[in-house]
Structure 1
Amino acid sequence: MSHPPRAKHHGIAACRGIEHVPCSVHHDQGRFGRLFPNLPGLRLPDEALEALAVTMRESDNAATESKTPAGFTFLGQFIDHDITLDTTSSLDQQIDPTAVRNMRTPSLELDSVYGAGPDANPFLYDQERPGRLLTGTEDNPDDVPRNRQGVALIGDPRNDENGIISQLQLAFLRFHNGVLSLLESGQRFGPRYHEDDFREAQRLVRWHYQWLIVHEFLPTVVDVKMLESIEEDGPSLYCSHTPFIPVEFSVAAYRYGHSQVRGSYRLNDDKVAQLFQPPADALTSFAPVPRENVVDWRYFFVSNSSVKPQRGRRIDTKIVDELYELPFAVPSSLPLRNLKRGQTFSLPSGEAVARRMGVEPIAPEVLGTDLEQHPLWFYLLKEAEISGDDRLGEVGGRIVAETLLGLLRCDPESYLRVAPAWSPTLPARYKDYFGMSDLVAIANEFGR
């Protein structure tokens, strides 16, 4: 899916009626919060949640295939791991989101890749090649670095929870190394902001990543007209001058990606892997990636090759069998876990949020349940399902777009704050703008 860059730059406009005040990003601001603090939380009996979760099972993987390349499902997961990590909340008790510590910084700065830097986290960096991130193992050079017990040495261990996200982590490690190599060879990519090659490479990597989120990732999830309206009119929801992660985003809207997951993926010319199936056919989880499972990204993102990337599933209220039951969780039903989590955070109903946003709620007969009010996560999936656009609907799309753009707007080091008219300076080989396929190409050619 190709989306040309827009001449204007998202996220700069002030909140409607409120002049934008610069804000800083610090670890002590790593908190969750609410977009709708005055809306009451929806409380349904466990039996109602269990019954609703059962309706969300989908066994026909191909029937709801979307137009969006499958790689964006995992890029979405990677982005989530860059900005959120909740290690304390429970499915069994009510939670005040303002009291929950977010263990990731609420900014799109790739701390899941860089950690706290080479001085604070030297185990992530190659001591023989200063400034470069470690990659590969003795058994497989095309894997993330691991210790002798096979544990990944990366900034966020969740990026090893399946073989595809692990390979995407590797691509970002190599992307940094490739950009650093190009800088050290004397190449320039626009004005330099840092004399030190490592810091300049880090800035280039971060800005290209942020630009990809705004111009390539978000248009696969949110209607382009909505993105343009946020740009022109300013945000109407995320009007904070201090970065935070709304629970309406992290616990509901951004969990749309679970619906996009396929039951199986072609990894390369020779291998199709299942999710959570017997080891011979499965994607690895928290374990070394076998050589035969090395991902060929042509099967996940559009490039100029003859290979057509496989597609993710449409966003709807169905979860494929292979993901529906998690073999390592209690309760094992992924939909039930998401629905229960929404209640522990006292999320309002989808209908209440729609009304607060001035959007006509979905008619009960369209929602197709016996419930009078619906959990926000389910509601937003249904909204996307009936839109017929392969994207989130009016309510879910705005929550996701305003949160991600708001995080960039609040980051004093993001390209939107430092140089809002900036556009990628690294070469675009496959389209008329820099995309994920270009990032992978640099990683593979210069980052090994």
Structure 2
Amino acid sequence: MAIVFQSHGGAEKERAVPGPSVRAGRPATGDVAVDEEADFGYFVPPLDAPENYLPNTAETLGELDELGEMMIDVVATPTSEDPTEDSTLPPVFTYWGQFLDHELTARTDREGAISSMVNAHPPVASSTVESQFRNARSPRFDLDSVYGGSAVGEGIDADVVKVISGLRHPTLTNKMRVGTAVDPGPLPDNLDEHRDLPRYGQVQSSVREAALRLAQAAMTPEAFQKFSDSLPQRAIIGDNRNDENLVVAQFHLSFLRFHNKAVDYLASHDTGWIADFSSAQALTRLHYQWLIVEGYLKGVCDPVVVDRVVNDRASHFFKFRAEFDARRQNTRLGNALPLEFSTAAYRFGHSMVRTFYDYNKNFGRPGTGFLPRATLKLLFEFTGGGGRLDDDKKLPKNWIIDWTRFTGADPHDASDGEPARLARRIDTELAPPLHTLFKEGEDQADQQLKELFKNLARRNLRRGYNLRLPTKVPPSSGLQSQAPDGPGFAQASQANWRGAVLADPRCLSIVRREARFEELPRRHCIAFPRAYADLVLHSGRSRGCRRKSIGRSRELSRGVDLRGRAACGSGLGSFAWVHAQSEPSQDARQLTDRLDHQMDAVRGGHAIVLARLLPRRTAARQTAISSGFTTLWLRKRGRNHPAILP
């Protein structure tokens, strides 16, 4: 393990790959939490056979970059959002998911010897990735991103311990340190003002000095200078990515305050528990884990699926662990997490981000405060690295979140022209602001590299290619014939159950613009259990396909509202490929109704919905069907792209 100083981008100092150990090592680059040096493994075991991957060519990167540009949603105006893009989930689910990601994984977004966006080609062998790529977080819901992990090991010195001690209250040592918001106000409610993250500006000088020594040893001179200059407003929390935006920062703060309330409760009630740090930590973790299952997973997934996984004791996941241990005998460092999950399957939250939020009474309804809404850009700026904190380097009182607007306790739609108190739907498009990330790429002198680091879709696609996420499921994977149970499955006559590799959904295809369908190579599209699952139909004309265009393509593509049911965060099941056949004369409503019916049949499972809109008798279609491929037409920004899916 090691202390990690990190952000979502940038490069980390080169270091030797550690040997097998469950003990802490020296600091790397990033933030405060102990580096668990845990394992990443492949859910689909590494095969290193060319036919299981995207073509290993420089051309592939260009095609992925083009696809990344197409994945960002386009808004009609810069001041409004399309209400049909809204889900039924409260907006807290977007940032709850981000918090869980930071709790489970770290280092997947860093530039290093194994994982690189800039030098994504050629990728290293998958067996090398699995043996050398490390997860800086424990793959358990133990809140190491909050508590900092266990500082135990020969690489842990006094500076490491000193910084971690700064997470605790200096005098009430059973409690966690929190920060205090400052004027201007007003507060959004009648609660207290102790609702900022703790920051280095409020800790003892010995803690700041220790943090600087650790950072200097782990960072390049340029990165260290930037770190040193921003230290006073920098949050001292287990994982500094949780100070990336205000919503996830306030979510992190909720756990600090819950821990402190647990200490007070144990001290004032005869529970049999000792009112100390360890007891409060245990209670916080137990409540947190219960909320994940009963709140988060049953919100974004079908509750029937969640219950089945729980009752089955997550057998697929532990089967993966057992197979990984067998492959990595005598070399594994800790509990493994599937790469397909951490670098692909769990990234569905990127489609849930809003451009605008009804944040609190100061920056939201009724519109009589400072602004009628809060932009995502402002939510990034009023953080430790955002540059908008005042001379006190603390959060202003008027930017404390009103959780009733984010949790569904006080719902509101968009009928008044302001943002609905809902997350965006889980679908095939990333939110518009994710095309140009606010805090990333600023240290890149080259304009092309700056654009790459700022475009989240391109980054994720390149990362999946570079980390050798497989694009084909071998029969030995056990995913080939597993279909979810439940009523209605017998009636799904057009459902073709196939196991699908848990890989990056963004690569729905390698697109060859204006190519004839018959001339396309049989490229294996990366399939995936999340929202990219609701690509249903696409109309238009192209060479190689003669048919009548079906109008209202965007309305049709939203005709099947998966409402997050296709995205199971555990990544444990198989998937349904639902093929809706349509003759050229069939209108959008008929196809929508048919897809709705089929979704009813497969509800409770993971579904990827495709519409086959090619005429029934074309040779291309018959060839594709008989060879196990399915056709999909992508329509984006007025362009039609033929693609092949496995």
Letter in 1 for 2:104: I
Q: Distance in 2 between matches of 1:252 and 1:355?
A: 20
Q: Please show how residues 295-306 of structure 1 align to structure 2 within 5 Å.
A: 295-303=401-409
- Out of 143-152 and 352-361, give the one that drifted further: 352-361
Match of 1:76 among 80, 93, 97: 97
Offset at residue 392 of structure 1 (A): 4.6
For residues 279-337 of structure 1, the C-alpha deviation after alignment (integer angstroms, 9 at most, x for no partner) is: 9x95546354332211011011133x577881111111111211222242341211111
Within the candidate set 427, 436, 448, 1:316 is matched to: 427
Partner residue of 2:53 out of 28, 41, 47: 41
TM-score of the two chains, using structure 1 as the length reference: 0.73
Secondary structure of 2:498's match?
coil
Of residues 253-262 and 233-242 in structure 1, the stretch that sits farther from structure 2 once superposed is: 233-242
Task: State the Cα distance separating 1:211 from its structure 2 match.
Answer: 0.6
Distance of 2:270 and 2:430 partners within structure 1: 47
Are 2:39 and 2:337, in contact at CA under 8 Å, matched by a contact in 1?
A: yes
Q: 1:369 to 1:286 in 2, by over 3 A?
A: same
Determine if contact 1:342/1:375 at 8 Å carries over to the other structure: no
**Which residue identity is paired with 1:388?**
D
Which structure is higher in RCO with an 8 Å CA cutoff and minimum separation 6? 1
Identity %: 31
Once the two structures are TM-superposed, the CA of residue 355 in structure 1 deviates from its matched residue by 8.9
Q: Distance in 1 between matches of 2:294 and 2:572?
A: 11
Deviation of 1:399 after TM superposition, in Å, equals: 4.6
CA 1:247 to 1:117, structure 2 compared with 1: closer, same or farther past 3 Å? closer
Q: How many residues align?
A: 365
Q: CA offsets per residue over residues 98-147 of structure 1, 9 Å max, x none? A: 31121112211111111147976211111221211111147373210112
| 1:345 paired residue number | 467
Matches within 5 A, 1:3-402: 30-38=38-46, 40-43=52-55, 45-60=60-75, 61=81, 62-86=83-107, 87=110, 88=112, 89-91=115-117, 92-93=119-120, 94=123, 96-116=129-149, 121-137=164-180, 139=182, 141-148=194-201, 149-188=232-271, 192=272, 195=274, 197-235=276-314, 237-238=316-317, 239=319, 240=321, 243-271=335-363, 272-276=373-377, 284=383, 286-287=385-386, 288-303=394-409, 310-327=421-438, 328-329=440-441, 330=450, 331=452, 332-349=454-471, 356-358=479-481, 359-360=497-498, 370=511, 372-376=523-527, 380-384=530-534, 388-393=561-566, 397=568, 399-400=570-571
The two structures have a TM-score, normalised by structure 2, of 0.52
CA gap 1:113/1:231 in 2 versus in 1, 3 angstroms: closer
What letter corresponds to residue 400 of structure 2 in structure 1?
V
In structure 1, stretches of 5+ residues that fail to align are 1-24, 403-448
Residue type of the alignment partner of 2:310 = E
Higher helix share: 1
Whether the aligned pair in 2 keeps the contact of 1:263 and 1:323 (CA below 8 Å) is no
CA contact (8 A) 1:264 1:275 kept: yes
Structure 2 unaligned runs (5+)?
Answer: 1-21, 25-35, 76-80, 152-160, 184-193, 202-231, 323-333, 364-372, 387-393, 414-419, 442-449, 482-496, 501-507, 513-522, 537-559, 574-646
> What's the counterpart of residue 430 of structure 1?
none
Structure of larger gyration radius:
2
CA contact (8 A) 1:316 1:381 kept: yes
- C-alpha change, 1:368 and 1:111, in structure 2 (3 Å) is closer
Determine helix, strand or coil for the equivalent of 2:433.
Answer: helix
Residues 372-420 of structure 1, C-alpha deviations (whole Å, 9 max, x = no match): 432346x743225556221152xx5275357xxxxxxxxxxxxxxxxxx
